[in-house]
């Protein structure tokens, strides 16, 4: 078990209580109705959840990365769909933290602190893993940009009030012409397209965003023209551990439910011997290893060390652990598992897909493995 500070333990406990009161009681019903729930957001506002990633100077709580991961694990424990809603808002904020000016941060964080949510629009039809293949354009006209294109599978898209949208300011330059923008809801020409029906995380909202001659002020550009891919990749480095944290929460929940069921059902039965015990032990080993991998990544980030490879490892390993542990839990519980624990298994699958599939993460990790380590003096200078 990772060593946490007294403050982190208190925050974890508060997050647990929030989840027990506001998320667990509604999670199954929202999964059935595929409903996004504003009441959870209202409760989140009261508990200041949205403020955890916002810097103090903008009115937020400014939790470090490890503390955020601790809270995200609890959200994943309660419901990975609601967790995804809350995490996707932080994802969009990360781009603003990375590239935004003081004025842009003030503007972007204000609605978030008021319990509204943000959304991050990178993926397009034919441009998922190959994010540089997007076709949405943002052409400068005087002191405005005019956006045209379609984004797909965008979390929170139907409910967000602020968006970070990636579009080509120089279409001929391909991914080198990609730029990042703040787009506010309600701009003429900005509409919501198809709402996707999903295998899992059904209470999260996933939609198409349609941009048709959407005018935004030039000062909505995040960073400089052509820096979009850099902003997107840095954002995803920062945000992937959030998926790892939701995954650890999901896996822990499946393990807890399974252990409860085993205790209640199999105690005293002769087939409830080591086969079951060893399976539960293997699940526990995986969950703890996943949590440690995640916490190590967050500690590197908090120490200002490079963490790109570790972020990819954490996302991949924790997502795979969630898939494995939830599947084993269903198997151990037989028909009861199939009828009562299916949500955890369904919710786990997306962890291996969004924010860069686990195959793409393995490409990132193998590239790091194949890159020679810097000489000790250079490494020390770079703070590695």
Ligand X SMILES: Cc1cc2nc3c(=O)[nH]c(=O)nc-3n(C[C@H](O)[C@H](O)[C@H](O)COP(=O)(O)OP(=O)(O)OC[C@H]3O[C@@H](n4cnc5c(N)ncnc54)[C@H](O)[C@@H]3O)c2cc1C
Task: Tell me the catalytic residues.
Answer: 355
Least Cβ distance, residue 209 to ligand X (angstroms) = 9
Tokens, residue 212: 């048709």
CB of 70 to ligand X, least distance (A): 23
Number of residues engaging ligand X in binding (CB under 6 A) = 22
Residue in 128, 149, 241, 249 binding ligand X, rule: CB under 6 A? 128
CA dist., res. 38 & res. 51, Å (int):
17
CA dist 168 and 148 (Å) reads 10
* Residues 152 to 171 in contact with ligand X, rule: CB under 6 A: 153-155
Alpha-carbon distance of 338 to 216, in angstroms, equals 49
Nearer to ligand X, 67 or 89 (CB): 89
Contact with ligand X (CB under 6 A) among 81, 83, 118, 121: 121
353 binds ligand X (CB under 6 A): yes
- In whole angstroms, the minimum distance from the beta carbon of 175 to ligand X comes to 14
Exposed / middle / buried, residue 335 (Cβ in 10 Å: 0-12, 13-18, 19+): exposed
> Which CB, 41 or 122, lies closer to ligand X?
122
Q: Is the distance from CB of 185 to CB of 162 less than 8 angstroms?
A: yes
Residue 120 binds to ligand X (criterion: CB under 6 A): yes
- Please tell me whether residue 207 binds ligand X under the rule CB under 6 A: no
Q: Which stretch binds ligand X (CB under 6 A): 149-157, 178-186, 252-260, 328-336?
A: 149-157
Residue 196: CB atoms within 10 Å? 15
What is the three-class DSSP state of 304?
A: coil
Of residues 363 through 382, those in contact with ligand X by CB under 6 A are 363
Q: Which residue is nearest to ligand X (CB)?
A: 128
- Cβ-based neighbours of 85, under 8 Å, separated by 6 or more: 36, 40, 41, 117, 155, 156, 203, 204, 205
Among 33, 339, 359, 366, which residue interacts with ligand X (rule: CB under 6 A)? Answer: 359
* 74 half-sphere exposure, CB direction, 13 A CA radius: 22
In the complex, the residues that contact ligand X under the rule CB under 6 A are 88, 120-123, 128-129, 153-155, 198, 201, 206, 350, 353-357, 359-360, 363
């Amino acid at each position: 078990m990772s060593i946490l500070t007294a403050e982190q333990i208190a925050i974890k406990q508060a997050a647990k209580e929030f989840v027990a009161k506001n998320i667990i009681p509604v999670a199954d019903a929202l999964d059935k109705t595929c409903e996004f729930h504003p009441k959870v957001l209202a409760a989140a506002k009261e508990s200041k959840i949205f403020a955890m990633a916002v810097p103090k100077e903008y009115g937020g709580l400014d939790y470090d990365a490890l503390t955020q991961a601790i809270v995200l694990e609890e959200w994943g424990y309660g419901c990975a769909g609601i967790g995804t809603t809350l995490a996707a808002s932080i994802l969009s904020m990360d781009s603003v933290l990375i590239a935004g000016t003081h004025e842009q941060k003030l503007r972007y964080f204000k609605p978030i602190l008021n319990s509204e949510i943000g959304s991050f629009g990178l993926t397009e039809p034919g441009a998922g893993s190959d994010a540089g293949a997007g076709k949405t354009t943002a052409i400068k006209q005087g002191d405005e940009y005019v956006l045209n294109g379609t984004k797909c599978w965008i979390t929170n898209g139907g409910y967000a009030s602020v968006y970070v949208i990636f579009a080509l300011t120089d279409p001929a330059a391909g991914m080198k012409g990609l730029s990042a923008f703040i787009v506010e809801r309600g701009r003429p020409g900005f509409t919501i397209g198809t709402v996707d029906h999903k295998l899992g995380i059904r209470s999260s909202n996933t939609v198409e965003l349609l941009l048709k001659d959407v005018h935004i002020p030039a000062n909505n550009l995040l960073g400089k023209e052509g820096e979009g891919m850099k902003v997107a990749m840095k954002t995803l480095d920062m945000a992937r551990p959030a998926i790892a944290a939701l995954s650890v929460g999901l896996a822990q929940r499946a393990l807890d439910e399974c252990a409860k069921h085993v205790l209640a059902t199999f105690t005293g039965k002769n087939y409830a011997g080591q086969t079951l015990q060893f399976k539960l032990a293997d699940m526990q080993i995986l969950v703890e290893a996943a949590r440690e991998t995640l916490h190590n990544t967050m500690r590197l980030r908090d120490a200002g060390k490079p963490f790109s490879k570790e972020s990819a490892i954490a996302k991949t390993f924790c997502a795979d652990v969630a898939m494995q542990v939830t599947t084993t839990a269903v198997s151990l519980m037989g028909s009861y598992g199939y009828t009562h624990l299916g949500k955890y298994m369904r919710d786990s699958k997306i962890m291996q897909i969004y924010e860069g599939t686990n195959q793409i993460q393995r490409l990132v990790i193998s590239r790091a493995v194949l890159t020679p380590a810097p000489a000790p003096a250079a490494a020390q200078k770079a703070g590695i």
